[in-house]
Structure 1
Amino acid sequence: MAGTTDSEQCRILVFASGNGSNFQAIIDAIASGQIPNARITQLIVNRGKAYATKRAEANNIPWEYFNLISHGFQSKSDTDPAKLQQARDNYDAALAKKILESDKPPHLIVLAGWMYIFGEHFLDPISAAGIKVINLHPALPGKYDGVNAIGRAYEDFKAGKLEGNKTGIMVHYVIKQVDRGEPLMTREIEIQQGEELKQLEERIHENEHQLIVEATAKVVKEIMASKAQ
Protein backbone atom coordinates (compact mmCIF):
# COMPACT_ATOMS: atom_id res chain seq x y z
CA MET A 1 0.00 0.00 0.00
CA ALA A 2 1.40 3.37 -1.01
CA GLY A 3 2.28 5.76 1.80
CA THR A 4 2.76 3.13 4.50
CA THR A 5 6.01 1.86 5.97
CA ASP A 6 6.89 -1.78 6.52
CA SER A 7 6.22 -1.40 10.25
CA GLU A 8 2.66 -0.35 9.44
CA GLN A 9 1.98 -3.42 7.33
CA CYS A 10 1.14 -7.01 8.15
CA ARG A 11 3.68 -9.30 6.51
CA ILE A 12 2.02 -12.37 4.97
CA LEU A 13 3.77 -15.56 3.88
CA VAL A 14 1.70 -17.80 1.60
CA PHE A 15 2.16 -21.55 1.12
CA ALA A 16 0.71 -23.21 -2.00
CA SER A 17 1.15 -26.48 -3.86
CA GLY A 18 -0.73 -26.02 -7.12
CA ASN A 19 -2.56 -23.53 -9.29
CA GLY A 20 -2.58 -20.76 -6.70
CA SER A 21 -6.00 -19.29 -7.44
CA ASN A 22 -6.56 -18.53 -3.76
CA PHE A 23 -3.08 -16.99 -3.62
CA GLN A 24 -4.16 -14.79 -6.54
CA ALA A 25 -7.35 -13.82 -4.70
CA ILE A 26 -5.24 -12.57 -1.78
CA ILE A 27 -2.88 -10.69 -4.14
CA ASP A 28 -5.86 -8.96 -5.79
CA ALA A 29 -7.52 -8.15 -2.47
CA ILE A 30 -4.37 -6.49 -1.13
CA ALA A 31 -4.02 -4.49 -4.36
CA SER A 32 -7.65 -3.33 -4.19
CA GLY A 33 -7.48 -2.42 -0.51
CA GLN A 34 -9.90 -5.15 0.54
CA ILE A 35 -7.06 -6.41 2.74
CA PRO A 36 -5.54 -3.12 3.92
CA ASN A 37 -2.17 -2.57 5.59
CA ALA A 38 -0.73 -5.84 4.34
CA ARG A 39 1.74 -7.21 1.85
CA ILE A 40 2.77 -10.69 0.76
CA THR A 41 6.47 -11.03 1.47
CA GLN A 42 7.00 -14.49 -0.03
CA LEU A 43 5.43 -17.58 -1.55
CA ILE A 44 6.69 -21.05 -0.64
CA VAL A 45 5.78 -24.06 -2.80
CA ASN A 46 6.51 -27.76 -2.34
CA ARG A 47 5.88 -28.69 -5.97
CA GLY A 48 8.36 -27.42 -8.54
CA LYS A 49 5.77 -27.02 -11.30
CA ALA A 50 3.17 -25.25 -9.15
CA TYR A 51 1.53 -22.54 -11.28
CA ALA A 52 1.37 -20.37 -8.17
CA THR A 53 5.01 -19.49 -8.87
CA LYS A 54 3.98 -17.84 -12.15
CA ARG A 55 1.48 -15.73 -10.26
CA ALA A 56 4.21 -14.71 -7.82
CA GLU A 57 6.56 -13.71 -10.63
CA ALA A 58 3.82 -11.69 -12.35
CA ASN A 59 3.33 -9.73 -9.13
CA ASN A 60 7.01 -9.35 -8.15
CA ILE A 61 6.61 -11.60 -5.11
CA PRO A 62 9.70 -13.65 -4.16
CA TRP A 63 9.09 -17.40 -4.09
CA GLU A 64 10.98 -20.49 -2.99
CA TYR A 65 10.66 -24.20 -3.74
CA PHE A 66 11.22 -26.37 -0.68
CA ASN A 67 10.42 -30.07 -0.97
CA LEU A 68 10.62 -33.02 1.39
CA ILE A 69 12.32 -35.34 -1.12
CA SER A 70 14.12 -32.97 -3.51
CA HIS A 71 15.86 -31.21 -0.63
CA GLY A 72 17.18 -34.45 0.84
CA PHE A 73 14.98 -34.97 3.88
CA GLN A 74 13.40 -38.18 2.59
CA SER A 75 14.47 -40.79 0.07
CA LYS A 76 11.92 -41.97 -2.49
CA SER A 77 12.80 -45.54 -1.49
CA ASP A 78 12.08 -45.04 2.22
CA THR A 79 9.21 -47.18 3.50
CA ASP A 80 10.07 -47.51 7.18
CA PRO A 81 7.43 -45.58 9.18
CA ALA A 82 9.96 -44.33 11.73
CA LYS A 83 12.29 -43.03 9.02
CA LEU A 84 9.40 -41.37 7.20
CA GLN A 85 8.26 -39.63 10.36
CA GLN A 86 11.80 -38.50 11.17
CA ALA A 87 12.12 -37.08 7.65
CA ARG A 88 8.92 -35.09 8.08
CA ASP A 89 10.02 -33.85 11.50
CA ASN A 90 13.36 -32.71 10.09
CA TYR A 91 11.68 -31.01 7.12
CA ASP A 92 9.22 -29.22 9.38
CA ALA A 93 11.99 -28.04 11.72
CA ALA A 94 14.14 -26.81 8.83
CA LEU A 95 11.24 -24.90 7.29
CA ALA A 96 10.34 -23.27 10.60
CA LYS A 97 14.00 -22.30 11.12
CA LYS A 98 14.17 -20.84 7.61
CA ILE A 99 11.12 -18.66 8.30
CA LEU A 100 12.12 -17.55 11.79
CA GLU A 101 15.68 -16.66 10.77
CA SER A 102 14.60 -14.50 7.83
CA ASP A 103 15.30 -10.76 8.05
CA LYS A 104 11.64 -9.95 8.60
CA PRO A 105 9.58 -12.99 9.63
CA PRO A 106 5.89 -12.92 8.71
CA HIS A 107 3.11 -11.94 11.08
CA LEU A 108 0.74 -14.33 9.32
CA ILE A 109 1.09 -17.56 7.34
CA VAL A 110 -1.73 -18.48 4.96
CA LEU A 111 -1.98 -22.05 3.66
CA ALA A 112 -3.76 -21.62 0.32
CA GLY A 113 -3.97 -25.02 -1.31
CA TRP A 114 -0.94 -26.38 0.58
CA MET A 115 -0.95 -30.17 0.21
CA TYR A 116 1.20 -31.14 3.16
CA ILE A 117 0.34 -31.66 6.83
CA PHE A 118 2.53 -29.78 9.28
CA GLY A 119 3.48 -31.38 12.59
CA GLU A 120 4.66 -30.03 15.92
CA HIS A 121 8.23 -29.44 14.70
CA PHE A 122 6.87 -26.68 12.47
CA LEU A 123 3.81 -25.49 14.36
CA ASP A 124 5.35 -25.24 17.86
CA PRO A 125 8.24 -22.87 17.03
CA ILE A 126 6.05 -20.81 14.71
CA SER A 127 3.41 -20.47 17.42
CA ALA A 128 6.05 -19.64 20.03
CA ALA A 129 7.18 -16.76 17.80
CA GLY A 130 3.63 -15.39 17.78
CA ILE A 131 3.02 -16.10 14.09
CA LYS A 132 -0.54 -17.06 13.23
CA VAL A 133 -1.20 -19.86 10.70
CA ILE A 134 -4.53 -20.20 8.91
CA ASN A 135 -5.76 -22.75 6.39
CA LEU A 136 -8.59 -22.98 3.87
CA HIS A 137 -10.49 -26.29 3.82
CA PRO A 138 -13.47 -27.22 1.59
CA ALA A 139 -15.69 -28.60 4.32
CA LEU A 140 -17.52 -27.44 7.42
CA PRO A 141 -15.95 -27.81 10.90
CA GLY A 142 -15.73 -31.43 11.98
CA LYS A 143 -16.75 -32.73 8.56
CA TYR A 144 -14.60 -34.42 5.92
CA ASP A 145 -11.19 -33.72 7.41
CA GLY A 146 -8.23 -34.26 5.12
CA VAL A 147 -8.07 -35.00 1.41
CA ASN A 148 -10.91 -35.25 -1.13
CA ALA A 149 -13.37 -33.45 1.13
CA ILE A 150 -15.55 -32.26 -1.76
CA GLY A 151 -15.67 -35.71 -3.34
CA ARG A 152 -16.63 -37.42 -0.08
CA ALA A 153 -19.38 -34.89 0.59
CA TYR A 154 -20.69 -35.38 -2.94
CA GLU A 155 -20.74 -39.17 -2.53
CA ASP A 156 -22.72 -38.81 0.71
CA PHE A 157 -25.13 -36.47 -1.09
CA LYS A 158 -25.71 -39.01 -3.85
CA ALA A 159 -26.27 -41.70 -1.22
CA GLY A 160 -28.81 -39.52 0.60
CA LYS A 161 -26.60 -39.31 3.68
CA LEU A 162 -25.69 -35.60 3.58
CA GLU A 163 -27.67 -33.69 6.19
CA GLY A 164 -29.70 -30.93 4.56
CA ASN A 165 -27.81 -31.58 1.30
CA LYS A 166 -25.26 -29.06 2.60
CA THR A 167 -21.50 -29.05 2.65
CA GLY A 168 -19.34 -25.94 2.89
CA ILE A 169 -15.97 -24.34 3.38
CA MET A 170 -14.02 -22.89 6.26
CA VAL A 171 -10.89 -21.00 7.14
CA HIS A 172 -9.43 -22.17 10.44
CA TYR A 173 -6.36 -21.78 12.60
CA VAL A 174 -3.89 -24.62 12.05
CA ILE A 175 -3.16 -27.09 14.84
CA LYS A 176 -1.60 -30.57 14.84
CA GLN A 177 -4.98 -32.27 14.38
CA VAL A 178 -5.79 -32.07 10.67
CA ASP A 179 -8.51 -29.50 9.88
CA ARG A 180 -9.56 -29.34 13.54
CA GLY A 181 -8.27 -25.90 14.48
CA GLU A 182 -10.60 -23.13 15.65
CA PRO A 183 -12.76 -21.96 12.72
CA LEU A 184 -12.36 -18.32 11.72
CA MET A 185 -15.10 -18.22 9.12
CA THR A 186 -17.43 -20.76 7.57
CA ARG A 187 -19.86 -20.80 4.67
CA GLU A 188 -22.53 -23.39 3.93
CA ILE A 189 -22.99 -24.52 0.33
CA GLU A 190 -26.03 -26.53 -0.69
CA ILE A 191 -25.50 -29.24 -3.28
CA GLN A 192 -28.11 -28.96 -6.00
CA GLN A 193 -30.08 -31.87 -7.43
CA GLY A 194 -28.61 -32.99 -10.75
CA GLU A 195 -25.35 -31.18 -10.11
CA GLU A 196 -22.20 -32.94 -11.27
CA LEU A 197 -19.13 -33.14 -9.05
CA LYS A 198 -17.18 -30.79 -11.33
CA GLN A 199 -19.93 -28.17 -11.11
CA LEU A 200 -19.91 -28.43 -7.32
CA GLU A 201 -16.13 -28.08 -7.24
CA GLU A 202 -16.31 -24.93 -9.37
CA ARG A 203 -18.95 -23.35 -7.09
CA ILE A 204 -16.94 -24.23 -4.00
CA HIS A 205 -13.74 -22.76 -5.46
CA GLU A 206 -15.57 -19.50 -6.25
CA ASN A 207 -16.70 -19.28 -2.64
CA GLU A 208 -13.23 -20.19 -1.40
CA HIS A 209 -11.74 -17.15 -3.13
CA GLN A 210 -14.14 -14.90 -1.24
CA LEU A 211 -13.76 -16.60 2.14
CA ILE A 212 -9.96 -16.71 2.15
CA VAL A 213 -9.92 -12.97 1.47
CA GLU A 214 -12.47 -12.17 4.18
CA ALA A 215 -10.72 -14.36 6.75
CA THR A 216 -7.26 -13.02 5.90
CA ALA A 217 -8.55 -9.46 6.20
CA LYS A 218 -10.03 -10.28 9.61
CA VAL A 219 -6.79 -11.74 10.96
CA VAL A 220 -4.70 -8.91 9.50
CA LYS A 221 -6.96 -6.38 11.24
CA GLU A 222 -6.52 -8.22 14.56
CA ILE A 223 -2.73 -8.40 14.10
CA MET A 224 -2.44 -4.70 13.28
CA ALA A 225 -4.65 -3.77 16.24
CA SER A 226 -2.43 -5.77 18.60
CA LYS A 227 0.69 -4.10 17.17
CA ALA A 228 -0.81 -0.67 17.82
CA GLN A 229 -1.30 -1.38 21.53
Structure 2
Amino acid sequence: MTTNIGVLVSGSGSNLQSIIDHVESGYLKDVKLSVVISDKRDAYALERAKIHGIDAVFIDPRSHVSKMDFEKKIIETLQLYTVDLVLLAGYMRILGSEVIQTYKDRIMNIHPALLPSFKGLHGPRQALEYGVKVAGCTVHFVDEGMDSGPIIIQSSVPVKDDDTENTLASRILEQEHRIFPEAIKLFTEGKLKVDGRIVLRRDK
Protein backbone atom coordinates (compact mmCIF):
# COMPACT_ATOMS: atom_id res chain seq x y z
CA MET A 1 0.00 0.00 0.00
CA THR A 2 1.31 3.43 -0.92
CA THR A 3 2.04 5.94 1.84
CA ASN A 4 1.08 9.47 0.86
CA ILE A 5 3.45 12.03 2.35
CA GLY A 6 2.95 15.75 2.88
CA VAL A 7 5.96 17.93 3.67
CA LEU A 8 5.84 21.27 5.49
CA VAL A 9 8.71 23.63 4.71
CA SER A 10 9.83 27.20 5.27
CA GLY A 11 13.23 27.43 3.59
CA SER A 12 15.57 26.01 0.99
CA GLY A 13 14.51 22.41 1.45
CA SER A 14 17.75 20.42 1.54
CA ASN A 15 16.08 17.72 3.65
CA LEU A 16 13.17 17.73 1.20
CA GLN A 17 15.66 17.18 -1.62
CA SER A 18 17.20 14.26 0.26
CA ILE A 19 13.78 12.67 0.67
CA ILE A 20 12.99 13.21 -3.02
CA ASP A 21 16.31 11.59 -3.95
CA HIS A 22 15.62 8.58 -1.71
CA VAL A 23 12.19 8.13 -3.28
CA GLU A 24 13.55 8.39 -6.82
CA SER A 25 16.40 5.97 -6.05
CA GLY A 26 13.95 3.34 -4.83
CA TYR A 27 15.21 3.36 -1.23
CA LEU A 28 11.77 4.57 -0.16
CA LYS A 29 9.36 2.14 -1.81
CA ASP A 30 5.59 2.52 -2.00
CA VAL A 31 5.92 6.18 -1.05
CA LYS A 32 4.34 9.11 -2.85
CA LEU A 33 5.38 12.68 -2.10
CA SER A 34 1.91 14.09 -2.59
CA VAL A 35 2.26 17.73 -1.62
CA VAL A 36 4.78 20.25 -0.30
CA ILE A 37 3.30 23.11 1.73
CA SER A 38 5.16 26.28 2.68
CA ASP A 39 4.32 29.26 4.85
CA LYS A 40 6.85 31.30 2.83
CA ARG A 41 6.01 32.32 -0.73
CA ASP A 42 9.66 32.46 -1.79
CA ALA A 43 10.82 29.23 -0.13
CA TYR A 44 13.12 27.46 -2.59
CA ALA A 45 11.70 24.15 -1.35
CA LEU A 46 8.59 24.91 -3.41
CA GLU A 47 10.76 25.11 -6.54
CA ARG A 48 12.42 21.81 -5.65
CA ALA A 49 8.97 20.24 -5.46
CA LYS A 50 7.87 21.66 -8.82
CA ILE A 51 11.07 20.47 -10.52
CA HIS A 52 10.23 16.92 -9.46
CA GLY A 53 6.54 17.08 -10.35
CA ILE A 54 5.26 17.38 -6.79
CA ASP A 55 2.37 19.72 -6.08
CA ALA A 56 3.65 22.82 -4.27
CA VAL A 57 1.28 24.93 -2.21
CA PHE A 58 1.90 28.28 -0.51
CA ILE A 59 -0.42 29.04 2.40
CA ASP A 60 -0.06 32.61 3.61
CA PRO A 61 -0.42 32.86 7.40
CA ARG A 62 -1.04 36.60 7.09
CA SER A 63 -4.19 36.02 5.07
CA HIS A 64 -5.82 34.11 7.92
CA VAL A 65 -7.40 35.72 10.95
CA SER A 66 -5.73 33.41 13.47
CA LYS A 67 -3.19 30.62 13.83
CA MET A 68 -6.07 28.17 14.21
CA ASP A 69 -7.63 29.38 10.96
CA PHE A 70 -4.24 29.10 9.20
CA GLU A 71 -3.70 25.57 10.48
CA LYS A 72 -7.21 24.49 9.50
CA LYS A 73 -6.20 25.38 5.95
CA ILE A 74 -3.10 23.21 6.33
CA ILE A 75 -5.23 20.31 7.57
CA GLU A 76 -7.69 20.76 4.71
CA THR A 77 -4.83 20.71 2.21
CA LEU A 78 -3.24 17.61 3.74
CA GLN A 79 -6.61 15.84 3.72
CA LEU A 80 -7.22 16.89 0.12
CA TYR A 81 -4.09 14.91 -0.78
CA THR A 82 -5.02 12.00 1.53
CA VAL A 83 -1.76 12.41 3.42
CA ASP A 84 -0.80 9.55 5.74
CA LEU A 85 2.48 10.95 7.09
CA VAL A 86 3.45 14.59 7.63
CA LEU A 87 7.11 15.62 7.56
CA LEU A 88 8.51 18.85 8.95
CA ALA A 89 11.58 19.63 6.86
CA GLY A 90 12.79 23.01 8.01
CA TYR A 91 9.30 24.20 8.95
CA MET A 92 9.83 27.15 11.27
CA ARG A 93 6.50 27.24 13.10
CA ILE A 94 5.34 25.30 16.13
CA LEU A 95 2.29 23.28 15.17
CA GLY A 96 -0.93 23.77 17.10
CA SER A 97 -2.87 21.06 18.87
CA GLU A 98 -5.47 20.55 16.11
CA VAL A 99 -2.87 19.54 13.51
CA ILE A 100 -1.03 17.36 16.02
CA GLN A 101 -4.17 15.57 17.16
CA THR A 102 -5.39 15.09 13.59
CA TYR A 103 -2.10 13.40 12.70
CA LYS A 104 -1.15 11.96 16.09
CA ASP A 105 2.04 9.87 15.85
CA ARG A 106 2.08 10.63 12.12
CA ILE A 107 4.14 13.84 12.14
CA MET A 108 7.95 13.63 12.03
CA ASN A 109 10.46 16.40 12.54
CA ILE A 110 14.23 16.54 11.97
CA HIS A 111 16.19 18.63 14.47
CA PRO A 112 19.92 19.51 14.29
CA ALA A 113 20.80 18.50 17.86
CA LEU A 114 20.81 15.46 20.09
CA LEU A 115 17.52 16.01 21.87
CA PRO A 116 16.56 16.68 24.59
CA SER A 117 19.60 19.00 24.51
CA PHE A 118 19.55 22.24 22.52
CA LYS A 119 15.92 22.57 21.55
CA GLY A 120 14.66 25.41 19.38
CA LEU A 121 16.72 27.43 16.94
CA HIS A 122 20.45 27.19 16.17
CA GLY A 123 21.20 23.73 17.55
CA PRO A 124 24.82 23.67 16.29
CA ARG A 125 25.49 27.14 17.71
CA GLN A 126 24.05 26.11 21.07
CA ALA A 127 26.22 22.98 21.07
CA LEU A 128 29.39 24.97 20.40
CA GLU A 129 28.57 27.59 23.01
CA TYR A 130 27.94 24.90 25.61
CA GLY A 131 31.21 23.18 24.79
CA VAL A 132 29.95 19.66 24.12
CA LYS A 133 32.30 17.17 22.49
CA VAL A 134 29.56 15.34 20.57
CA ALA A 135 26.68 16.89 18.61
CA GLY A 136 24.22 15.47 16.11
CA CYS A 137 20.63 15.31 14.97
CA THR A 138 17.33 13.73 15.93
CA VAL A 139 14.23 12.53 14.10
CA HIS A 140 11.24 12.54 16.42
CA PHE A 141 7.48 12.41 16.39
CA VAL A 142 5.90 15.80 17.03
CA ASP A 143 3.89 16.53 20.12
CA GLU A 144 2.60 19.83 21.48
CA GLY A 145 5.90 20.88 23.01
CA MET A 146 8.98 22.33 21.30
CA ASP A 147 11.17 19.51 19.97
CA SER A 148 9.86 17.32 22.79
CA GLY A 149 8.17 14.37 21.07
CA PRO A 150 9.23 10.70 21.19
CA ILE A 151 12.62 10.09 19.59
CA ILE A 152 12.82 7.77 16.56
CA ILE A 153 16.47 7.93 15.45
CA GLN A 154 19.54 9.93 16.43
CA SER A 155 22.98 10.26 14.87
CA SER A 156 26.08 11.85 16.38
CA VAL A 157 29.11 13.67 15.03
CA PRO A 158 32.27 14.72 16.91
CA VAL A 159 32.76 18.39 17.67
CA LYS A 160 36.19 19.54 16.51
CA ASP A 161 38.27 22.16 18.30
CA ASP A 162 38.27 24.39 15.22
CA ASP A 163 34.58 23.97 14.37
CA THR A 164 32.48 26.97 13.48
CA GLU A 165 28.71 26.95 13.52
CA ASN A 166 28.75 26.44 9.75
CA THR A 167 31.25 23.57 9.68
CA LEU A 168 29.47 21.73 12.48
CA ALA A 169 26.05 22.34 10.93
CA SER A 170 27.32 21.00 7.61
CA ARG A 171 28.44 17.70 9.15
CA ILE A 172 25.22 17.41 11.08
CA LEU A 173 23.23 18.05 7.89
CA GLU A 174 24.92 15.08 6.23
CA GLN A 175 23.54 12.89 9.01
CA GLU A 176 20.10 14.51 8.75
CA HIS A 177 19.98 13.49 5.10
CA ARG A 178 20.75 9.91 6.14
CA ILE A 179 18.49 9.35 9.13
CA PHE A 180 15.34 11.20 8.03
CA PRO A 181 14.78 8.83 5.07
CA GLU A 182 15.62 5.90 7.36
CA ALA A 183 12.91 6.95 9.82
CA ILE A 184 10.42 7.38 6.99
CA LYS A 185 11.26 3.91 5.70
CA LEU A 186 10.67 2.35 9.12
CA PHE A 187 7.31 4.12 9.38
CA THR A 188 6.12 3.11 5.92
CA GLU A 189 7.13 -0.49 6.60
CA GLY A 190 5.07 -0.53 9.80
CA LYS A 191 8.11 -1.04 11.99
CA LEU A 192 7.58 1.81 14.48
CA LYS A 193 5.40 1.65 17.58
CA VAL A 194 4.98 4.53 20.03
CA ASP A 195 4.69 3.45 23.67
CA GLY A 196 4.46 6.58 25.79
CA ARG A 197 7.75 8.42 25.29
CA ILE A 198 9.44 5.38 23.79
CA VAL A 199 9.49 4.55 20.09
CA LEU A 200 9.96 0.83 19.60
CA ARG A 201 11.32 -0.67 16.42
CA ARG A 202 9.67 -3.92 15.52
CA ASP A 203 10.40 -6.22 12.62
CA LYS A 204 7.44 -7.80 10.88
Q: TM-score, normalised by structure 2?
A: 0.89
CA shift, 1:72, in A, is 2.9
Offset of 1:155 from its aligned partner? Answer: 1.0
Deviations along 1:145-202, one digit per CA (max 9) or x if unpaired, are 1111111111112xxxx2xx11210000000011111111001121111122211111
Does residue 113 of the first structure (1) align with residue 106 of the second (2)?
Answer: no
- In the other structure, the counterpart of 1:190 is 158
Number of corresponding residues: 193
1:173 correspondence with 2:138: no
Q: Which residue does 1:9 correspond to in 2?
A: 2
Residue pair 1:145, 1:178 contacting (<8 A) in 2 also: yes
In structure 2, what is the Cα distance between the partners aligned to 1:144 and 1:187? 15
Structure 1 unaligned segments of length 5 or more: list them: 1-7, 74-86, 224-228
8 Å CA contact retained: 2:86, 2:108: yes
Pair member with larger Rg: 1
CA contact (8 A) 2:64 2:70 kept: no
CA contact (8 A) 1:96 1:126 kept: no
- Identify which of 55, 69, 73 aligns with 1:62: 55
1:141 paired residue number: 115
Q: Does 1:215 align with 2:183?
A: yes
- Which residue number corresponds to residue 172 of structure 2? 204
Identity %: 26
Task: Give the CA deviation at 1:31.
Answer: 0.8
TM-score of the aligned structures, taking structure 1 as reference length: 0.79
Structure (1/2) with the larger strand percentage: 2
1:23-172 map, 5 Å? 23-69=16-62, 71-73=63-65, 87-100=66-79, 102=80, 104-127=81-104, 132-157=106-131, 162=132, 165-172=133-140
Q: Any idea what the Cα deviations from partners look like across 1:25-84, whole Å, max 9, x if unmatched?
A: 011101111111111001001111111111111101001001211x233xxxxxxxxxxx
Q: Which position in structure 2 is the counterpart of 1:5?
A: none
In the alignment, structure 2 segments of 5+ residues that lack a partner are 192-203
Taking the aligned partners of 2:73 and 2:98, their CA distance within structure 1 comes to 9
CA shift, 1:211, in A, is 1.2
**Greater than 2 Å deviation, 4+ residue runs:** 97-100
